[in-house]
Chain A
Amino acid sequence: MLTPPTRSAINSVSKRPYICPSCLHRAQRLPLASATCPIRLSRRALQTATDPPKDDAPFRKLLKDAAKKQRIQEKVNGSPSKPSSISRDPRAEKWELTVGIEIHAELNTARKLFSSATTSANDTPNTHVALFDVAFPGAQPHFQKETLIPAVRAALALNCEIQTRSSFDRKHYFYQDQPAGYQITQYYEPFARDGYVTLHPHDFPGGVSPENGSITIGIKQVQMEQDTAKTVQQPPHTHLLDFNRVSHPLIEIITLPQIHNPTTAAVLVRKVQAILKTADACTAGMEMGGLRADVNVSVRQRNVKSPEDRHSYHGVTGLGQRTEIKNLASVKAVEDAIIAEWNRQIDILEQGGAIEGETRGWTLGSKTTKRLRGKEGEIDYRYMPDPDIAPVLVGDDLIDHLRRTLLSSSDSIIERLTEGPDFNVTSKDASTLLLLDDGDRLDYYLDVVQKLDKMLKSRSIGKPELYSRAGTVAGNWVLMELGALFKDSGWSKDRVPSDELASILQHLLCKEITGRTAKRLLQMKFDGDPRRIERIIDEHHMLLIPMSSEEYKTMAQQILEEKPDVVKDIIEKGQEKKVKWFVGQMMARGKEGTVEASTAEGVLRELLKL
């Protein structure tokens, strides 16, 4: 049996290293599936700390290189190297990992955080810059209150408590991409606190969480802050600055140190990303640069109370000394960096050493983290409330309104798709639909189902089982059949309009056309045939004409005559089950879909006088 591509796409994740599953696995192993990257690439790279991104190569290339390296590695080792197999390492039994993550994401707003300059992604450099954005003497900030809307939506989607009062602080450090010499952020009074994200088994690769059930990770706070300028390297010595991005609003999401597995960390980042997308809080293309994560990693021995484990982070006590790894630009980077750092810390501790509190870096494809600066070199950011920015007061009416109008969370969408008779798709297909094309695929699917449902109902076919199959069948067609056609090009909902696909499926479900015909129709529409489906069926005489009972009889007679020994078995030895074999023969011989099993069996029994 053919495994639906989406299922194996997700299944395969558990067997192979985690490289943006929908990108690599679907493309490489599943020719039927769409090779389109589920989340759009963006050239924007988010800068959240002093260190400029070291890798300016496009992320897609990095992924490719990493995958290539992986394959070479597999050849050399004779077996796939599995970073995530660390969890079966006996050392992992001894040492517990603890991770907290800070995720920076770009808010989906029209204007910058403190000026009315418009936000932009790839416009001509330095064309969207207000005086304040480049810190001209005498210029002052103007908080754009509209930026609160996506921020609050994001925080609500992350189950946070929105604070009535929040305020902005200056975080000082010198860097050429930071015009004011400080970043305006929310240090003392963030706008949202105390949220959580629940990771369900279906969020995990293979549908199994490392803790055999749902995992809830607490979110300490969500804060708003400014982005920095973009540095464009002109080797060898020139750095050009594009201030279009300066002061683009960001949110920083800080989790509690409650993550104990690298895969959980990766899944959390991916889930947060999906939640932000669903809440329409963040710009598209987060995965490839609109998102940066910093991770805090510490280890401690399980079941042993060590005086070394005296550290407390965000109120979680008894933890080992942590290190921070900054500027991770992808889900894979998060997972691999944590694994590398986990190994490094255990190595040190097993050799009797001590972990130093320091900031480390990690580049995609490398095996170890690299020390950036130690505690003594740590920047003292000298947080100071910004005297020019009044505290932000958010009314309950706004929060209520945003809560009411918040789009369904990905969890509730998956629940709706998988439970009940409306859609009845598998949870894997549901999460694939959700993940693909920034949610466009899901919208398209919902459209198809709605239209198909209407068509079926208007024909008043009193067959409830038809309705319940509609969702499943539409799911398969939207993901597999249509997905295969879009293999080499970007997704577009207009190429095969949803009502046309619904029309194809309607005829298929009502057994008026064969599956082969349905595929042919899809291909014709995909290739741009402007005719309506009904017209194509009509003009090409595709409609299936059911066999008459005479035709049934003739066919049954012929088959029975061909196999007298089987007939003998049935009549003389009473092996009635062998009737089914004849039914199968009839179905195989008849024009596809013309022979109905129950009718065929009835005719056969009649002829055999059973």
Chain B
Amino acid sequence: MSIIRYAEQYLARQLELANLRTFTRLPDRDFVLDQAKAADQHAKEGDYWAGRVLAIKDNICTKDMKTTAASGILKDFTSPYDATVVKLLRDARCIIAGKTNMDEFGMGSHSTHSHFGPVQSNSEQHPMSAGGSSGGSALAVATNQCWAALGTDTGGSVRLPAAYNGILGFKPSYGLLSRWGVIAYANSLDTVGIFSASLPATQNIFEKLNQYDPQDPTSLPPSTRARLGKYRPKSLRIGVPLDYNISTLHPAIRRAWMQALKHLAEEGHRLCPVSLPATRHALSAYYVLAPAEASSNLAKYDGVRYGSRAEGIDGTPESVLFAKTRGQGFGAEVQRRILLGAFSLSAQAIDNYFIQAQKVRRLVQQDFDKAFRTPNPLLISSREATGLIKEGVDVLVCPTAPTPTPTLASVREQDPITTYTNDVFTVPASLAGLPALSVPVAFDAHDRDQYPELFEGSKTTWAGLQIIGQYGDDELVLHAAKSFPGVDKRSSERRTHGISIRTVEER
């Protein structure tokens, strides 16, 4: 099949599902087809990458499409440059087919806080949450509006929507994928992540983008990359973090987790209970640190050099400078987090909030270091001191989210704090910068009677489980995913919350 036809399929799908608001703006048809034409010959010659259709989260800079971060303050902003990850894909002749909708600046868990309207994963009576903040990217992949997509994960923003949409969402180790051109939310946590429906695709995209970038000061230098684990045991020691079995964990999720663990044990892996006591403080620490960094990172949006600016004079003797522009340009959730962050950095609060949270962050990292078999390669001394920990595990397996995909109606009723608790399982890996992959697993058939909403007719929906590895053990995490049931099959039975997957003819 020609690349042009292949691209047209996705374009048609994008038009058909336009009411889901998957994209901040639908891509220009000719723009996409021109890229397809340019790639066509190379694809015919067997180039794996030529003509692959990818969607990019709208907080990753592209010079030929607007980059809005779903914010009013950047609603007409076009970046003068491509982000490194985008450039790498373009250089490989991939087709960039649209910028996906999201929570403004990545702040949210359901992709509802967007200047362009909420993403929803059902066009019918009961719209479901697409997860957030990279909900648009996840939904685009799940509903075949593109082959794969890039998102960003600060506290779970790739893994959570992947879980809610029944696809793979991979957050690599912090520092492996370049952040040059990625609009910062909380830059000590922000990580570019990968959505796709198949494990080999995830693996390939990761390999393509996993390159040192001198433009990103936090990009891991080649010397350190060379030290990262190449360890690939046949039989894995799989850690089961007991602290993640919280009382608010949905029973169907718990059962899906147990089923998967059972399957892994049957595959010949060894299950090991693991204690991660700092986890209970991780969420609080995250919601201090991320808003603190956000309040700082978003200070640049003042409408002076780019972006939207409020009409008239901004900053009279009676008002605060830029208050008008920022008040109009930022949505409610962004304003809430900026205020929260400004407070936790203030002279009166920094010791009790920001500093404490940093200490918790360190404890969370130490918890993980104690649990894993391989030492943290960033802490050379611990490697020398400990070597392999005999009782340590290779990867951890736990739920991605405490509940199945919620309806948008229930999300609207939630107060912000309840919404924040969605991130309870994803935040620890973010704080420690660890690689984590959310994989879809089927709910247990026994739950059909009790939770019929999880089963639509004869077809299954999916729960998300997370595989977390030691820092730099990204390959091991992807390797471990092979043992999960159903990961490698793109079942024709699959459906995403009421939207049947019309099979796109694969290349």
Contacts and interface: CB of A to CB of B under 8 A. Distances in A.
Given A174-B299, A382-B345, A138 B180 contact: yes
Contacts of B216: 140
B299 A137 contact: no
B300 A384 contact: no
A530 to B, nearest CB: 55
B179 interface: yes
A387 B188 contact: yes
B217 A143 contact: yes
A179 B305 contact: yes
A181 B298 CA distance: 8
B321 A384 contact: no
B181 A390 contact: no
Interface in A111-158: 131, 134-143
A148 to B, nearest CB: 16
A384 B181 contact: no
A376 interface: no
Contact of B302 (A142, A181, A383, A387): A181
A348 to B, nearest CB: 26
Given A131-B80, A383-B345, 8 more contacts: A135-B300, A137-B69, A138-B180, A138-B181, A172-B295, A181-B300, A382-B350, A390-B217
13 contacts: A131-B81, A135-B305, A137-B61, A138-B61, A138-B179, A142-B215, A179-B305, A181-B300, A382-B345, A382-B347, A388-B217, A388-B218, A390-B218
A170 interface: yes
Interface string A161-197: 0000000001010111001111000000000000000
A174 B187 contact: no
A383 B296 CA distance: 10
Nearest to B320: A174
B437 interface: no
A140 B305 contact: no
A137 B183 contact: yes
B305 A142 contact: no
A241 interface: yes
A389 interface: yes
A-B CB proximity, top 4 nearest: A181-B299, A387-B188, A382-B345, A135-B300
A383 to B, nearest CB: 8
Contacts of B180: 138-140
Chain A binding surface, main DSSP class: loop
A138 B183 contact: yes
A551 interface: no
Given A388-B187, A390-B217, A136 B79 contact: yes
B293 A140 contact: no
Interface of A: 131, 134-143, 170, 172, 174-176, 179-182, 241, 380, 382-384, 387-390
Interface in B153-190: 179-184, 186-188
A380 B347 contact: yes
A140 B350 CA distance: 25
A175 B321 contact: yes
Q: How large is the interface on B (under 10, 10 to 19, 20 to 34, 35 or more residues)?
A: 35 or more
B322 interface: yes
Nearest to A237: B313
A180 B299 contact: yes
Contact of B74 (A131, A137, A143, A380): A137
A137 B217 contact: no
Contacts of B179: 138, 140
A338 to B, nearest CB: 27
B9 to A, nearest CB: 31
Contacts of A383: 345, 350
A241 to B, nearest CB: 7
Interface in B173-212: 179-184, 186-188
A361 B142 CA distance: 61
B67 interface: yes
B285 to A, nearest CB: 15
B352 to A, nearest CB: 14
B320 A179 contact: no
A123 to B, nearest CB: 19
Interface of B: 60-61, 67, 69, 74, 77, 79-81, 83, 179-184, 186-188, 215-218, 292-293, 295-296, 298-302, 304-306, 320-322, 342, 345-347, 350, 354
A225 to B, nearest CB: 16
Contacts of B69: 137
A141 B217 CA distance: 7
A327 B306 CA distance: 29
B184 A138 contact: yes
A387 B187 contact: yes
Contacts of B347: 380, 382
A138 B342 CA distance: 21
Nearest to B298: A181
Contacts of B218: 140, 387-388, 390
A176 B302 contact: yes
B354 to A, nearest CB: 7
A135 B69 CA distance: 16
Give the most central of A143, A170, A388, A390: most B CB within 10 Å: A388
Give the most central of A143, A181, A390: most B CB within 10 Å: A181
Contacts of A170: 296
A170 B293 CA distance: 10
A210 B346 CA distance: 42
B445 to A, nearest CB: 46
B296 A137 contact: no
Given A142-B217, A174-B302, A387 B293 contact: yes
B187 A138 contact: no
A403 B187 CA distance: 37
A136 B77 CA distance: 11
Contact of B306 (A136, A143, A389): A136
B217 A384 contact: no
Given A180-B300, A382-B346, A390-B217, A134 B305 contact: yes
Nearest to B190: A387
A163 B304 CA distance: 37
Contacts of B188: 387
A453 B170 CA distance: 77
Contacts of A141: 217
Nearest to B218: A388
Given A174-B299, A380-B346, A384-B296, A136 B80 contact: yes
Contacts of B81: 131, 138
Contacts of A384: 292-293, 296, 345, 354
Given A131-B81, A387-B187, A382 B342 contact: yes
B77 A137 contact: yes
Contacts of B342: 382
Contacts of A389: 217
Nearest to B289: A387
Contacts of A380: 346-347
B320 to A, nearest CB: 7
A139 B342 CA distance: 22
A179 B187 contact: no
A140 B217 contact: yes
Contacts of B79: 136-138
Nearest to B306: A136
A424 to B, nearest CB: 55
